Amino acid sequence: MLQNIFQLIDMRSFSSLWYWIALAVTWSTTSHWVLGVPFDMVTRARRRGGAEGEDLVTLTRINVARLMVIGREAGLALSLVASFLLSLLVVLGFVYHFEFAQAAALILVPLSLVGLLSLRLAAKLEPGLQPGGYDAEAVAQVLTRHRFRVQLIGLLAISVTALWGMFQNISHYYIG
């Protein structure tokens, strides 16, 4: 019984069901919350307009302002720490063959790219989100395009992770 539990929660990440669930939840959540705005809100704002559209613009303005404050106040420190940690994971994983680091890197490296794209988009949107700026349809279009890019990155990340995970599992089966 205990052996079955340890087999289910395996530290060899690519053979663990929990890793694949975490990967799916990560990318599902990332593509649903675009710049901190839930995508169902974007869809409702496009369909109904009016107050829903105003709410979309307001929430986008709040989240863009939050991202820009973080970027301006802690951007340098965050980029240094993130670069160090991602480099550490990549070296530990792919140079020293530590599977847990490989698994973490295959999730976090693409997520960092999404973070950079989101920060860049926030910087572009910030001036137009002031009163009298973008309307709800323009904000919805921008968020939809950004979501599409995030989904492409997620699709590529999941594909690369699946291929690498299959390679690792086959290698463990035949070699180890």
Would residue 175 count as lying in a domain?
no
**Mean pLDDT of all residues in the chain?**
92
Per-residue model confidence as pLDDT tens digits over 116-144: 999 999 999 998 887 778 899 999 999 99
Would residue 54 count as lying in a domain?
no
Would residue 135 count as lying in a domain?
yes
Q: Which of helix, strand or coil describes residue 1?
A: coil
Would residue 69 count as lying in a domain?
yes
Contact 105, 116 (CB under 8 A): no
Residue 63 exposure: Cα atoms within 13 Å on the Cβ side: 18
As a whole number of angstroms, the distance between CA 45 and CA 155 comes to 26
pLDDT at 8 (0 to 100): 52
How many structural domains compose the chain? Answer: 1
Per-residue model confidence as pLDDT tens digits over 4-42: 655 555 556 888 889 999 999 999 999 999 999 999 999
Q: Which domain holds residue 93?
A: 59-168
pLDDT at 165 (0 to 100): 94
Is residue 1 over pLDDT 70? no
Would residue 124 count as lying in a domain?
yes
Residues 6+ apart with CB under 8 A from 59: 36, 37, 41
Per-residue model confidence as pLDDT tens digits over 78-98: 999 999 999 999 999 999 999
5, burial (CB in 10 Å: exposed 0-12, middle 13-18, buried 19+): exposed
Q: How many CB atoms sit inside 10 A of residue 106's CB?
A: 24
Residues 6+ apart with CB under 8 A from 126: 64, 65, 68
As a whole number of angstroms, the distance between CA 66 and CA 80 comes to 20
The three state secondary structure string of 20-32 is HHHHHHHHHHHHH
Would residue 98 count as lying in a domain?
yes
pLDDT at 56 (0 to 100): 96
Length of the chain: 176
Mean pLDDT computed over 41-60 = 94
Mean pLDDT computed over 46-61 = 94
Would residue 151 count as lying in a domain?
yes
pLDDT at 4 (0 to 100): 62
Mean pLDDT computed over 152-170 = 95
Is the model's pTM score more than 0.85? yes
The percentage of the chain sitting over the pLDDT mark of 90, rounded to a whole number, equals 79
Contact 53, 135 (CB under 8 A): yes
Q: Which of helix, strand or coil describes residue 137?
A: helix
Would residue 22 count as lying in a domain?
no
pLDDT at 13 (0 to 100): 83
As a whole number of angstroms, the distance between CA 79 and CA 61 comes to 23
